[in-house]
Structure 1
Amino acid sequence: MTFFLENFGIGFLAGNDLYHTIKMAKRAEEAGFNNCWIAEDYFYGGAFATATAYALNTSKIDIGIWVINPYTRHPALITMETAALDACSKG
Structure 2
Amino acid sequence: MYNSHTGKQSSRKSPIWKNLQGTPRQPTNVECGYYMIRFMRDIIHDPALAFEKKFDKKKEPVVYTQEHIDEVRLEWAEFVNKQLQNNN
- Using structure 2 for the length normalisation, give the TM-score: 0.25
Tell me which protein shows more helix as a share of its residues: 2
Tell me which protein shows more strand as a share of its residues: 1
